[in-house]
Amino acid sequence: MRLSPPPSNVCLCFHVPLNKIVKFIRLEKPRVASQVSECYGAGTGCGWCIPFIEQIFEQMKRDPDANPQMTMTADEYRARRREYHKKINWQAMKDERPEDTTPEKEPQ
């Protein structure tokens, strides 16, 4: 008995695999990529997967019979998402900084 590999998740926040997104696009024919969020909330979490969802959408818009594939391994995809999260958290901390935290200059 052969087992097929598990479907690769595009949206890691909501565990939405590539095959579900492809099927959603084929059946529901969304007009814009953002409507793919109606597929189990894909892309509505951290936002990491949005560019990938847009690529899948555009590829299938050009060719409805396309069979989009992930271009990186699941491990690489997760690792890049971790880096993205670190960057976002850093940016969020930076954005929460009080308006003026620069020390006043000593009068000369």
Residue range at the interface with ligand FES (CB under 6 A); choices 17-25, 44-52, 62-70, 100-108: 44-52
Tell me: does residue 77 bind ligand FES (CB under 6 A): no
Dihedral sign computed on CA atoms, order 22, 23, 27, 33? negative
**Contact status, residue 17 vs residue 24, Cβ threshold 8 Å:** no
> Quick one: which of 13, 20, 30, 34 contacts ligand FES (CB under 6 A)?
13
> Quick one: which of 19, 26, 29, 47 contacts ligand FES (CB under 6 A)?
47
Residue of 46, 42, 47, 55 lying closest to 16 (CA atoms): 42
Provide the binding-site residues for ligand FES, judged by CB under 6 A.
11-13, 43-49
